Amino acid sequence: MPDEIRRQRGTNDDNPPIGADPYTEFLSHDLPAYVGLPSFQKLPLLDDAALAGQRPDVAIVGAPYDEGTSHRPGARFGPNAIRAATYHSGSVNSLQMSIQPFEWLDVVDAGDAPVVPTNPDRAHEVIGRKVAAVLASGAIPIVLGGDHSVTLPAASAVAAHLGGRSLGIVHFDAHADTAATTWGSLRSHGTPMRRLIESGAVAGRNFVQVGLRGYWPPPETLEWMEANGLRSHFMTEIETRGAEAVVADAIAEALDGPDVVYLSVDIDVLDPGMAPGTGTPEPGGLLSRELLRAIRQVVMAVELAGMDVVEVSPAYDVAEITAAAANRCVMEALSSLAARRRDAGQVPRKSWPGLE
């Protein structure tokens, strides 16, 4: 950390409080994680107008919607659980990437899309608009779900924002999410990937899945996927070849034509032993360390256009381990985005919100 920033900022570690009064002068960002209103990593909470003025590098968006679930509901409570699932505040330091991400990136929490229950069309519309507002501010959106249906409006908004460039999608999940319908409904957490391909938001051949396993989808859905060129890497392939080699292939396939990548992480790609707090747990999944490494691998290799982490259902969680894993999925992406800036020869930020 540059000395001038270190002197200005209180931190939760080796620095005294700033200012004259040691009993009042910690910044909100540096107070303990459990103190005060929750925002992601205690980062500044900005409304859409402030977002447009500040033009941050990355904005966290909550998508508290779970009426697309086919089995256990509850992911509407995921965004705030992921925000709360940290014991750090202040200028955190990634030991994996040897970088303090918030010294390099202006990251804010843009709050939640204004979802109300019982109206799926409205929910998806306001999620899409919220992501579009983040994109209009120049920030990369990172969406906290919510069930996986929220990827439809989120990735659609990203695709619509690209101008002439095209999108590849890397999708970590136990499930393909490519059903034609779920009990007749087009909008569910089992259908978003088919809708994205049908709409042309992403070409089937650049839609790449990692971690599929279990007993779904049926053969006719797999036939549709094959006919549309999807590349799907089953868990059995990871067991044989290892996650790193499979993820390297997935990156190459997503970028086989496109310029940028949207990364969608269904937390149920993890083994339920490491992520029980989800709606459709499927035994035999990735280790947390494999997924976190995979996220670093992807974000270091591509231009990230957007990301989501979905399907955290806190009521089924145990000791917040699922929410903590989801929080770290986001942190690994942020640290990797910061490391790309460092590696490109850029300089750290000179000031923090409230310190200018």
What is the radius of gyration, based on Cα positions, of the chain? 20
Q: How far is CA 247 from CA 142, 209, 231, 264, 294, in A?
A: 20, 10, 12, 13, 7
* Dihedral angle sign, alpha carbons of residues 323, 95, 244, 224: positive
Structure tokens at 182: 């779920």
| Euclidean distance between CA atoms 323 and 320, whole angstroms | 5
In the block, tokens 């779970």 appear at 66
Q: CA angle at residue 272 from 206 to 222, to 5 degrees?
A: 35
Alpha carbons within 13 angstroms on the beta-carbon side of residue 269 total 32
CA 302 remoteness from chain centre: 15
128 or 192: CB nearest Mn ion: 192
Give the nearer residue to Mn ion in terms of CB position, either 136 or 321: 321
Using the minimum distance from each CB to Mn ion, give the nearer residue, 89 or 264. Answer: 264
Comparing CB distances to Mn ion, the nearer of 11 and 178 is 178
Element holding 156 (H helix, E strand) = helix 151-160
Q: Omega of the bond prior to 217 within 30 degrees of 0, cis?
A: yes
Smallest distance from the beta carbon of 240 to Mn ion, in angstroms?
Answer: 22
What's the min distance (Å) between Cβ of 83 and Mn ion? 21
Closest CA to 158 of 123, 128, 117: 128
**Nearest residue (CB) to Mn ion, 193 versus 333:** 193
Q: How many residues does the chain have?
A: 356
Q: In whole angstroms, what is the distance from residue 254 CA to residue 141 CA?
A: 19
Question: Which CB atom, from 51 or from 127, has the smaller least distance to Mn ion?
Answer: 127
CA 176 – CA 354 distance, rounded (Å): 44
CB of 28 to Mn ion, least distance (A): 34
Distance (Å, rounded) from C-alpha 120 to C-alpha 340?
37
Choice between 177 and 253, CB closer to Mn ion: 177
> Would you say 175 or 340 has its CB closer to Mn ion?
175
Alpha helices, H only, 211-320: 219-227, 235-241, 243-254, 288-301
Interacting residues with Mn ion (CB under 5 A): 148, 173-175, 177, 266, 268
Tokens 């089995």 correspond to what residue?
71
Residue among 97 and 330 whose Cβ is closer to Mn ion: 330
Minimal distance in Å, beta carbon 211 to Mn ion? 9
